[in-house]
Amino acid sequence: MTKLAPSTVSFPFETPVPIVETKESWGGNWKVDETIEPINASRSTANDGQVETAVFLRRYGEVINPVRSNKRKRASDTPRFHSQDRLNLLNHWIQIRLTPQSGRGKGEIIWRGRVYAQQDDIGSGDRTQAVGNQQFIAYSPSHSFNLIEINKSFHNDNSAGNITLDTTPDFNYQY
């Protein structure tokens, strides 16, 4: 019979909170956007042929103010609803960061990619402003390699200069 030592885990557990951050170009600064919700994300190994993807949702029109991620409660002076326009995130970088519920610490980036598609699900009703959901589909940076056709390789020989080999190189192969 095995006897387990007493647990050193403190209660209650601190559940990590997903934070979505975006930036327009790779050289820009990440900005938290609490109006975007991560729906799902996938990771894969380099050799399995799968593209890492993530799907995000954003509501627009007359929407409920989000619960602040680091406070978990809406401030009493914050209005319950606000008007939110559609957002164009095509070709923007987007990442998901898990942060402690307490708001202490930077957290850990669990997914990063670029938005390649967005879809609109336009709602209906008697409102004067359009209401609906936007869905953003992002792919990891490795997806960029799938968009580039590589059909040659070059070898630099100091005596002869560049030599075209007319073969596709094997990536991640050690000679």
53-110: pLDDT as tens digits: 999 999 888 777 665 544 445 455 566 777 888 899 999 999 999 988 776 778 889 9
If one counts every other C-beta atom within 10 angstroms of the C-beta of residue 89, the result is 20
For 146, the 3-state DSSP assignment is helix
As given in the structure block, the two tokens for residue 114 are 């670029």
Output the pLDDT for position 67: 55
If one counts every other C-beta atom within 10 angstroms of the C-beta of residue 165, the result is 11
Output the pLDDT for position 64: 74
Share the mean pLDDT of the chain. Answer: 76
pLDDT of 44 above 80: no
pLDDT tens, residue by residue, 142-169: 777 666 666 666 666 667 666 666 665 5
Which is higher by pLDDT, 105 or 126? Answer: 105
Output the pLDDT for position 70: 45
pLDDT of 126 above 70: no
Start-end of H helices in the chain: 143-146
- Residues 118 and 57: their CA atoms lie apart, in Å, by 10
Which is higher by pLDDT, 164 or 39? Answer: 39
